[in-house]
A and B are shown apart, each in its own frame.
Chain A
Amino acid sequence: QKEVEQDPGPLSVPEGAIVSLNCTYSNSAFQYFMWYRQYSRKGPELLMYTYSSGNKEDGRFTAQVDKSSKYISLFIRDSQPSDSATYLCAMMAASGSRLTFGEGTQLTVNP
C-alpha cells in the first residue's frame, strides 16, 4: 500500500467551477502537508503549506487537513483555464527532510 494515495484523474471542469482535489495517507507521522502545481514539463510549484489539522486560505485556494481521517483537500474557487495543470499533494514528518508525494491529479479547466 502506498503511503499517499491520490486520484490521478483526469479531471475536466468548466471555467468558474469549484474544484476539489483530495489525498489520503497512512503514515501517522506526517505533520506537514503541501500542495504543488506542476505544468507540463516543468518543476512543481509550491501552492499551499499547512501544519497539522485545520484550514488555510490563499486567494482562490483553500487547503484542508483532517488528521483524524488522514485526509487532505485542496479547493479551487472560480477556476480559470490557467489552473490547468497537475496537482500534487505532498507530506512530511516532523523530523523533516523527505517529501512523500501522491501521484498527482491532472486538471483541465475548459473556457
Chain B
Amino acid sequence: DAGVTQSPTHLIKTRGQQVTLRCSPKSGHDTVSWYQQALGQGPQFIFQYYEEEERQRGNFPDRFSGHQFPNYSSELNVNALLLGDSALYLCASSFGIGYEQYFGPGTRLTVT
C-alpha cells in the first residue's frame, strides 16, 4: 500500500519564477492538505482540498494556489517566488475531515 508521494524531491528556482509541486494521497484517502516547513520550525498550514475544492486556508498570500484532481491528487502552485519561500513543502492526506493526517516526504524548494 503506497503512502503519500510527492514530486519533485528537490527544486531550485530563481526569484520571480513560478513553481508547481505535486502530491498523490495515500490509498483510500480523499483529502489533501499542504504545509510549509521552514528550517527549524514546525509545519505551517497552507490550505486543504476536499472534493476538488479548497475547504480551508491558512495565512498565506494569494501567490499560493492549489488544485485537486478527480483522482484526489493535488498540486500546489506558487507564483512570483520570494527568497522567503525557500522551505520544505509537505503534503498530508486523510479521509474526510482529516483528524489523522499522514505526510509525504516533502519537496525541498530553494529560491535563489
- Chain B residue at smallest Cβ distance from A36: B103
Which of A44, A90, A97 has the most chain B CB within a 10 Å cutoff? A97
Q: A88-B42, A102-B42, A103-B41 are in contact. Are A97 and B103 (CB under 8 A)?
A: no
Q: Does B40 sit at the interface, judged by CB under 8 A? A: yes
Q: Does A46 sit at the interface, judged by CB under 8 A? A: yes
Which residues of B are found within 8 Å of A42, using beta-carbon distances? 105-106
Q: How many residues of A contact B (CB 8 A)?
A: 26
Q: How far is it, in angstroms, between the C-alpha of A44 and the C-alpha of B89 when the chains are bound?
A: 12
On whether the beta carbons of A99 and B55 are closer than 8 Å, the reply is no
22 contacts between A and B (CB under 8 A): A4-B42, A41-B108, A42-B105, A42-B106, A43-B90, A43-B105, A44-B43, A44-B90, A44-B103, A95-B97, A96-B97, A97-B33, A97-B56, A97-B98, A98-B48, A98-B58, A99-B33, A99-B43, A99-B92, A100-B45, A104-B40, A104-B42
